[in-house]
Amino acid sequence: MTLAYIVDGGLNDPPGNGSDLYTSFASVRRLYASVAEWTGVPVDRLLARELPPQQEYREAGAIRQAAVAFAICDLLAEKGIRPGFLGGLSLGGMIGASLAGSITRADLFGLLAHLRGAPEPSGRAQAVARGIVPADMDPEVALGGLPEGVHISADLGVTGTWGSRMLLLSGYRDSIDELAGRLPKGTVEVHEGVAIGYHSPLCAPVAAYLEPAVVDIEFRDPKLPLCSYLDEKTVTTADEVRDIFLRNQTEAVSLPYVVAELERHGTELALLIGPAQIDLFSGSAPFPVVQIETPQHLEEIFPYLHDLGINLPST
């Protein structure tokens, strides 16, 4: 059986994220000590969620999410379990690049620490909203067109629950409110507490701030197939991975792109690594998706994977 790993994007950081792994495994405690050294964020801060989600993501949340993902993958590797293919969204895609050997952990965590100094939005208030549209319609047509300053920032695919396509919209808050006001109730719902237009041109100042740090990183060709979340393809070169990092802030992400590539590679089972919205992935993928987030999940998955006869790569 061919196994893939998927890592979800940012802002999936529930209270206590990673604490049970840290308490249960010495290898996780060693990893967190290294993460603290690479980022300057103390271990006790990595174990404590202190701020609202948006501020927490920049200060420690993105670092914590990455640490949890690496911890789980390390624990799986200790049992001889490794993926044949990798995919992810946004932060998860960058973590996947490191798991594929294209960027060192130290460089990735250093970049996430650098994010703490990124400029905050200025001018008109920004927002992110969820959009639900019919699966068989062009999203922009279904929304009746997008007002000025509103962008589709994520295509999360067809959901198993509603049989509809879920989108994330980023843009100016007043324009998103205008869009929501002219559509049936529930079609567009603003995520309160998030005031950055993620994965849209509104994040150009953040992209410009991060660009010199990304350019300075030594990227390598991935050692495992890495499915892009910005284009419907598998990236194979260091330059392609760098390009993803440079475009990440300002371009829309696509779960269908990732799923289509994993299916093309023959994925028969995917492990969703760390905190995530499991219903999005299980609803969009034509193969089973099993989430691994807690020590209990690990205990349950080890015998299951070995019984399935997972084909393990040598890398």
**Domain residue spans of the chain:** 3-119+205-308, 126-190
Model confidence, pTM: 0.94
Per-residue model confidence (pLDDT) at position 314: 47
Per-residue model confidence (pLDDT) at position 62: 96
Backbone angles phi, psi at 282, to 5 degrees: -70, -30
Per-residue pLDDT tens digits of the chain, which is 315 residues long: 789 999 999 888 889 999 999 999 999 999 999 999 999 999 999 999 999 889 999 999 999 999 999 999 999 999 889 999 999 999 999 999 999 999 999 999 999 999 999 999 999 999 999 999 999 899 999 999 999 999 999 999 987 555 799 999 999 999 999 999 999 999 999 999 899 999 999 999 999 999 999 999 999 999 999 999 999 999 999 999 999 999 999 999 999 999 999 999 999 999 999 999 888 888 889 999 999 999 999 999 988 887 777 655 544
Contact 132, 116 (CB under 8 A): no
Per-residue model confidence (pLDDT) at position 162: 59
Per-residue model confidence (pLDDT) at position 312: 52
The CATH H-level (homologous superfamily) assignment of domain 3-119+205-308 is Malonyl-Coenzyme A Acyl Carrier Protein, domain 2 (3.40.366.10)
Per-residue model confidence (pLDDT) at position 310: 64
Per-residue model confidence (pLDDT) at position 11: 84
Per-residue model confidence (pLDDT) at position 107: 98
